[in-house]
Structure 1
Amino acid sequence: MMPVLSTVQRRVRTAAAVALMAAIAPSMALAADLSGTLKKVKDDGIVVVGFREASIPFSYYNDAKQPIGYSIDFTNLILDGIRKQVNAPDLKVRWLPITSQNRISLLQNGTIDFECTTTTHNASREQQVDFSNSLFIIGTRLMTKKDSGIKDFADLKGQTVVVGAGTTSEVLLRKLNVDQKMDMRIISAKDHAESSLTLSTGRAKAMMMDDALLAGERAKLSDPKDYVITGKPQSYEAYGCMVRKGDAEMKKLLDDVIAQTETSGKGEAIYKKWFMSPIPPKNLNLDFAMSEAMQHLFAHPNAKIDPEAK
């Protein structure tokens, strides 16, 4: 036989039930409202982040085998935003190494949930994935030894040049080789480290890459002062974070975090930390001043494919 409750007891129980529902309602509503990647992250209790292992100063390992760099600092701010959005302060993070060749497929098949490294936002990739507000703007140039005699792209005629496989620089270089009948021997390297080794061991006379990455690769060499970054940029490109195609909720989160970082002054501090101060592994200062294009980006965050389009 159920005990008969007094009016006071019934009121106390009702109040307690109302309080409990009020406490859990926000999390229930949050779970119901989430979609796409954020729902996946909430359900799994883990977010998987793609990163590059050797893209100094954007995304690379420190001595403790932990990802660090300019792009990683932005990534960590985005992770803070994800934790708040899914109401999971103890959300686990798994860092997964990616390459130029596999980064898009790993995102599309759900192996990684997003990546913010050194991926150029272009029209062909935009057919496969969505891009966040831009993180960085670069020019594609050359690195060569000071005594190589190579000052610009016209000097590459008949020379061996190394470039990263699957990069926009490779597309530009191969097109230049055909259009200008330059008879270059082009070596496609699997990553930045292999490109740099090919150059430093003399198997290539020049290396083509994004100028900021070239500054990072030069810093890793045993004799960085013997190398110069040269040549008129063949393109100006914007780096953005990749999210799955059509995932508007995830894209908005990244856009908001990046815009707030760039306009608040945090972005400038991150830039100075990685491009204007001594950095690992050799505590060298890249001394890579912020360009006008970067200043404009930080003042007006955007996800434009053409960074020169103001």
Structure 2
Amino acid sequence: MRLSPLTVLTLLGACGAALAQTPATLDKIKASGSMTVAYRESSIPFSYLGGEGQPVGFGWEICGKIVEQVRRATGRADLKVATQAVTSQNRIPLLQNGTIDIECGSTTNNSERAKQVAFATNYFYTGTRLLVRAGSPIKSTADLKGRKVVSTTGTTNYQVLRKLNAEQNLGFELIAAKDHAESALLVQQQRADAFGMDDILLYGLRASAQNPAELAVVGEALQVEPYAIMLRRDDPAFKKLVDDTLAGLMKSGEFEALYKKWFQSPIPPKGINLNAPMSQELQDNLKALSDKPAL
């Protein structure tokens, strides 16, 4: 059916009015008495399923602190908190359509995503490296020539590897896996030679493997990117609450205590210590409190 120009304008006006009436996150939560917090199933140690099948992790705990502030701000001591697993592919759409209210995982804050969502203060910095089987001849990206390389679909790492492959004419086959756990499994099963992902996630996946000694993290970091908690765009009140919560944690020393708990102490499910010292970029941001995106 062909619509007249007047009908199209009327429909567009109705859509615009509907969008304008969409409540801000805190108003939505106050009215409904519920909040939906998203988590990742295998983003160790930020957000993942622990030994009892429940979300745990550094980002997850920080989001717990944010939920406490939401309770105070909305006056809803009876606030119900629902949880929703998300993937690299669906995390942004589910945030935009209101299915989730906040995402607590390992999402890179970059300029392209900032056109669709908002990010809180950066709370980690990482770079793309490679997970390989121990004893692999792959020691750097130059060794990927003619190999099979996997990365998780919907991630910046996949794009970085695709660009690297084209610019350096490495000729490797780039495979897209649905999540980090599947990507790591392809390497373990020798169906891929290397898994390109944020180094801290690779350390976490290695630590949680059945035999961590069978895997190694190698190569130079291809770029440094910030992680941040993801929010809906154009919601300054909620962003301020989240940023203020992070600022309070960072200034009080509680953020550093949480960092030591998840990056420098034994963590579930296997009690392995990642032994990952805090980067200089993150130390600097405890003072700067920047939400500046990667390019």
Asked if structure 1 preserves the Cα contact closer than 8 Å seen for 2:131 and 2:184, the reply is: no
Alignment-derived partner of residue 140 in structure 1: 128
**Whose Rg is larger?**
1
Q: Is 2:100 aligned against 1:94?
A: no
Provide the residue aligned with 2:24 in structure 1.
36
Superposed, which structure 2 residues align to 1:1-310 within 5 Å? 36-306=24-294
State the Cα distance separating 1:300 from its structure 2 match: 2.2
Q: SS at 1:133's partner residue?
A: coil
8 A contact 2:111–2:294 mirrored in 1: no
Offset of residue 64 of structure 1: 2.3
- After superposition, the CA RMSD in angstroms is 1.2
For structure 1, the residue ranges without an aligned partner over 5 or more in a row are 1-34
Q: Distance in 1 between matches of 2:92 and 2:290?
A: 21
With structure 1 as the length reference, what TM-score do the two structures score? Answer: 0.86
Matched residue SS, 1:134? coil
The ranges of structure 1 where at least 4 consecutive aligned residues each deviate by more than 3 angstroms after the TM superposition are none
Q: Secondary structure at the match of 2:228?
A: strand
Task: Give me the whole-angstrom Cα distance separating, in 1, the residues matched to 2:164 and 2:79.
Answer: 47
Structure 1 residue 206 displacement after superposition: 0.8
Structure 1 distance, partners of 2:276, 2:233, is 33
| Structure 2 Cα separation of the partners of residues 203 and 173 of structure 1 | 18
Q: Displacement of 1:164 after TM fit?
A: 0.5
Residues of 1 paired with 2:53 and 2:220: CA distance? 36
Deviation at 1:117, TM superposition (A): 0.9
CA distance in 2, matches of 1:149, 1:298: 39
Letter in 2 for 1:161: V
Paired amino acid for 2:117:
V
> Residue type of the partner of 1:213?
L
CA positional deviation for 1:241: 1.2
Unaligned runs of 5+ residues in structure 2 are 1-22
Change (3 A) 1:212 1:50: same
Shift of 1:73: 0.9
* Counterparts of 1:287 and 1:40, CA distance in 2: 40
Deviation, 1:145, is: 2.0
Distance 2:213 2:53 in 1: 27
The whole-number CA distance in structure 1 between the counterparts of 2:134 and 2:52 is 34
Residue 140 of structure 1 aligns to a residue in which SS?
strand
Query: What amino acid sits opposite 1:295 in the alignment?
Result: Q
Residue deviations 1:83-112 (CA, integer Å, cap 9, x gap): 010011221000011010000000111101
